[in-house]
């Protein structure tokens, strides 16, 4: 009886210790599993967020094989990654009025007016060239309104996909920022002056590259968010200009002959005016010759040859 009583408490005590050991092992395993799962969750959080963002951008729910296939495909190109440019040449009746309407249309769409150039040709017609920047979502409406302002002469439209450039710049900016942060950490730990000077030069170079990338990103953002429209406005030809191709009449011939006669007189007068100084000098020289030089020559005595001696005369007579 004593043996049975002593065995039962021992067995009970052993059972209690075994249960406690199992409970402790289970808790530690659960703690380790939970810690591992937390670490795994932290490590997988960026990937899950990226996948969630990609699924949200594509507008498809996750959790199926088809959704996984759609997530693996490249993202669809949006208007934010396309540079749109267009050039229009429109002939209107009143250039100033058409320009005011174009400005109002651009400003109402949320855009602004850029460079503007105005000139007049030899016939007095006004020509204006203006650059308009409008939001991409209002690009088609503004373009259609400008085309309807008059007679469309010429149109060019271009859409350039810069998705690769945008993604590349964003990736390089992230890498450059991380690089700048690492150099700053090294500067905080550096103790020698030479190391500090070297790291400062490296930090300056990397910050300059980062600023260049940020400027390029801002340029891409501006070009993709606002479309560029180059509008050329020209006045319509006058009625007089449109009748130039008609056959000439008697009045036209008379007018043309009179113009030729006047032109001939003008050129003749120019020729006389050009020759007149030389003629005056020549006349002056002739007058000087007749009035001064020639009388002097006529008044000079003539030279008589001397008479031969007497002996020579007789010899000559014989």
CA distance readout (Å), 140 to 30, 85, 178, 207, 222: 61, 11, 41, 40, 18
Once rounded to an integer, what is the mean pLDDT over residues 222-241? 81
2-6, 106-110, 188-192: least confidently modelled range: 2-6
41-45, 130-134, 161-165, 208-212: least confidently modelled range: 41-45
Model confidence pLDDT, tens digit, residues 70-105: 434 444 445 468 999 999 999 998 888 999 999 999
- What pLDDT is attached to residue 229? 92
The verdict on domain 83-161 having CATH code 3.30.70 is yes
Rounded (to 5) percent helix, strand, coil in the chain: 70, 15, 15
Average pLDDT, the chain: 73
Query: Would you say residue 37 has pLDDT above 50?
Result: no
Report the distance separating Cα 262 and Cα 285, nearest Å.
Answer: 35
Highest mean pLDDT among 26-40, 42-56, 239-253: 239-253
Query: Would you say residue 171 has pLDDT above 90?
Result: yes
Q: Which tokens is 7 given?
A: 């065995």
């Amino acid at each position: 009886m004593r043996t049975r009583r002593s065995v039962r408490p021992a067995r009970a005590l052993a059972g209690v210790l075994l249960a406690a050991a199992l409970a402790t092992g289970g808790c530690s395993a659960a703690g380790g599993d939970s810690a591992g799962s937390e670490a795994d969750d932290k490590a997988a959080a960026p990937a899950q967020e990226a996948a969630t963002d990609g699924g949200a951008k594509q507008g498809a729910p996750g959790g199926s094989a088809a959704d996984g296939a759609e997530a693996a495909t490249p993202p669809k190109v949006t208007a934010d990654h396309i540079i749109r440019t267009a050039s229009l040449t429109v002939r209107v009746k009143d250039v100033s009025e058409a320009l005011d309407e174009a400005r109002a249309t651009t400003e109402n769409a949320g855009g602004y007016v850029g460079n503007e150039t105005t000139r007049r040709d030899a016939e007095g017609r006004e020509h204006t060239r203006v650059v308009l920047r409008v939001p991409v979502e209002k690009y088609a409406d503004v373009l259609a309104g400008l085309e309807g302002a008059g007679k469309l002469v010429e149109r060019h439209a271009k859409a350039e996909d810069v998705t690769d450039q945008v993604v590349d710049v964003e990736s390089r900016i992230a890498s450059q920022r991380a690089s700048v942060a690492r150099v700053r950490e090294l500067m905080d730990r550096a103790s020698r002056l030479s190391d500090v000077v070297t790291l400062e030069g490296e930090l300056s170079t990397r910050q300059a590259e980062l600023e260049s990338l940020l400027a390029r990103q801002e340029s891409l953002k501006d070009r993709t968010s606002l479309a560029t429209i180059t509008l050329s406005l020209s006045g319509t030809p006058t009625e007089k200009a449109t009748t130039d191709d008609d056959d000439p009449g008697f009045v036209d011939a008379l007018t043309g002959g009179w113009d030729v006669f006047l032109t001939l007189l003008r050129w003749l007068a120019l020729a006389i005016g050009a020759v007149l100084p030389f003629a005056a000098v020549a006349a002056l020289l002739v007058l000087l010759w007749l009035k001064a030089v020639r009388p002097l020559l006529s008044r000079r005595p003539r030279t008589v040859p001397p008479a031969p001696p007497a002996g020579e005369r007789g010899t000559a007579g014989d």
